[in-house]
Amino acid sequence: MSETVEQFNDKAEAIKSKFQAEGGVITNNIGDIVVANTKMASPVLTGALRRDITRKDAEKIEDGWQIEYGSNGIPYAQSVNDGHTTKSGKFVKGRHFMESGMQNSDKQIDETIEKWVTDLLKDL
């Protein structure tokens, strides 16, 4: 059975609609992966920094979705991540847990996106 161009276009439009409808959910799922891996990479003294790492809900932008994550209320989070100078002038190297959390998420993000795209395209 031969598919007409019109039928193909209808399926492509359905995929586009599904992509737009599910994009925020998938982006939030990816955000959860990054937050979990960032928490695991963060140094723990009291646990306050680890507990404070969160994400905002996915936001629709012109050509896709974006998510923001990080520490919301711990004033020393950036200093721990990037490094800082103590009162005595000694430099304390950064722990770079934000970057590590993102890097440690790469494989899971790729797998999540691959599964989603495969599911989107299975009816094409």
pLDDT digits (tens, 9 = 90+) for 51-100: 999 999 999 998 789 999 999 889 999 999 999 999 999 999 999 999 99
> Any idea what the Cα angle at residue 102 is, between residues 36 and 55, rounded to 5°?
50
The band of 123, judged by pLDDT with boundaries at 50, 70 and 90, is low
Location of structure tokens 């646990």 = 47
Proportion of the chain above pLDDT 90, given as a percent: 71
Cα–Cα nearest to 69, from 85, 81, 84: 81
The first and second tokens of residue 54, run together, are: 């969160």
The whole-angstrom separation of Cα 107 and Cα 110 is: 5
Q: What is the mean pLDDT of residues 5-33?
A: 90
Domain membership of residue 38 as a residue range:
5-121
Indicate the angle between helix axes 97-121 and 5-41, nearest 10 degrees: 160
In terms of phi and psi (left: phi > 0; alpha: psi -120 to 50; beta: otherwise), the region of 83 is left
